[in-house]
Amino acid sequence: MSESNCIILDRSRLETYATCPRQGYLSILWDALKAIAEDYEIFPWEQKILDEADPQLVALMKAVALQSTDGRLADCGTQIHKLIDRAFDECKNDIHLVPEWFVDNLPKIKPNIQPMAIRHARHICDMIAEYHVDIIAVEQQISLVIVPETGTSPAIINTTAIDLLGSGKGNLHVVDWKTGFKRRSNSETLESFQASDIAFLLFQQKEYKEINTVHFWYYDTMWGTKAYAKFERNAEHPRLPGLTTEVALKGRIIEAVKLFQNDCRDAWPLPDTCCWCDMIQFCPLASMEAKEIADDPKAFVDSLVVLDTLCKIRKRAATQWIKAKGSIEGTKVVYSKKVPADKFTAGFQDKAISKLSAIDKPELNSHFK
């Protein structure tokens, strides 16, 4: 099976579809146009998607194809990730040699990222000093045919590169370097699509068919922090027999692949999702708040200052009112004195749980209902 005749979907691409199909579709267009602008070849299936895309959208993307969509901080993180890969490669995956490699090579890197790179390098050295299992591989590529090839359609292959893979006693240890500014929690790691994808693909590899547990860490090299999740192949909840971890992971990945297969371009706009989306500038369906920031960050912050000041003024006025006349009852909340407090302070209370005394409920409240 020739790679050129297959559709390759890595964990990042599938994650975009799992997060928002519109983001997934736009990301494919953007990456293809960027590759063409940099004189790289693209796959036939990518070219087909480009040919069928809205010409105006393609023209808009093509005009800025060589620009970054995610800012200087992300670009810096990408460069540092490459530096980590180079360190392990030139040290032949011997983690004991990595600190010395950094000492020799950090002074030689691009001056604009050197201070940030030194910060990351310090944290990386601390992290790998605590890595006490045998290293199997660095940047190991693993893949799985998710949809077999047919007479009318190519195979769809899910693939990923594992930054650092180690072996414990009957289990695997995965480290994924994250060089951005985001700090991840353990719960976020367990729910992460990328972590789920890596665990599932490892479970499907022939050499790991007896492995039941994958220990997964995100190493946030900017902060020197770690986030952890454990994936147990056959674990299931007593009330959900049969829904093992492996079954759930497979279902999540298959559903993301189906969104791609069906050419789903639906937008699933949420403020949190859209604020992190690199494609927001090309998406008219993004969350209003996120889109407003993306269109004019300066104007958004300026208006935020005005609204914040206005809110403070209005709260001060409301506080003076309740000092003189008592609490103000709204539709869902009550604005009243906070108790107990030596100093008179006011704030919102949920009406369902508010237990105001008769003194705190003046007749004037009926005016505000």
Evaluate if residue 353 carries a pLDDT over 60: no
User: Which residues make Cβ contacts (< 8 Å) with residue 335, sequence separation at least 6?
Assistant: 318, 322, 327, 328, 346, 347, 348, 349
- More confidently predicted of 238 and 353: 238
Question: Could you tell me if 223 and 329 lie in one domain?
Answer: no
Residue type, 273: T
The verdict on 249 and 344 lying in the same domain is no
Q: What is the mean pLDDT of residues 342-367?
A: 56
Output the pLDDT for position 112: 87
Please indicate, yes or no, whether residues 241 and 331 belong to a single structural domain of this protein. Answer: no
pLDDT at position 73 over 70:
no
**Are 226 and 326 contained in the same domain?**
no
Domain-embedded: residue 27: no
**Cα 136 from Cα 166, distance rounded (Å):** 5
Quote the pLDDT of residue 361.
Answer: 45
Structure tokens at 180: 């951005």
* pLDDT attached to residue 318: 92
pLDDT digits (tens, 9 = 90+) for 118-151: 999 999 999 999 888 999 999 999 999 999 998 8
Report the pLDDT value the prediction gives residue 69, as an integer from 0 to 100: 62
140 & 260 share domain? yes
Closest CA to 16 of 1, 5, 29: 29
Q: Name the residue among 209, 90, 210 with its Cα closest to residue 138.
A: 90
Range of the domain at 239: 133-264
pLDDT for residue 207 is more than 90? yes
What does the pLDDT look like over 77-131, one tens digit per residue?
Answer: 788 888 999 999 999 989 899 999 999 999 998 898 899 999 999 999 999 998 8
Specify whether 258 is located in the same domain as 320: no
d(CA 181, CA 77): 9
Alpha helices (runs of H) in 262-340, residue ranges in sequence order:
271-276, 288-295, 297-325
Strand partners, 336: 347
Q: Mean pLDDT over residues 139-165, rounded?
A: 94
Considering its fold, how many domains does the chain have in total?
2
pLDDT of residue 204: 97
Nearest to 220 by CA among 191, 177, 257: 177
315 is a domain residue: yes
Quote the Cα angle for 39-41-43, to 5°.
Answer: 150
- Strand-pair partners of 176: 218
How many CA atoms, within 13 angstroms, populate the side-chain half-sphere of residue 33?
A: 24
239 shares its domain with 320: no
Is residue 35 one of the residues assigned to a domain? no
- At which of 264, 287, 307 does a domain end? 264
185-205 pLDDT, tens per residue? 999 999 999 999 999 999 999
Residue 38 has pLDDT above 70, yes or no: yes
Confidence of residue 19 (pLDDT cuts 50, 70, 90): very high
Last residue of a domain, one of 211, 239, 264: 264
Q: What percent of the chain has pLDDT over 90?
A: 66
Q: What is the pLDDT of residue 369?
A: 41
> Above 60 in pLDDT, residue 155?
yes
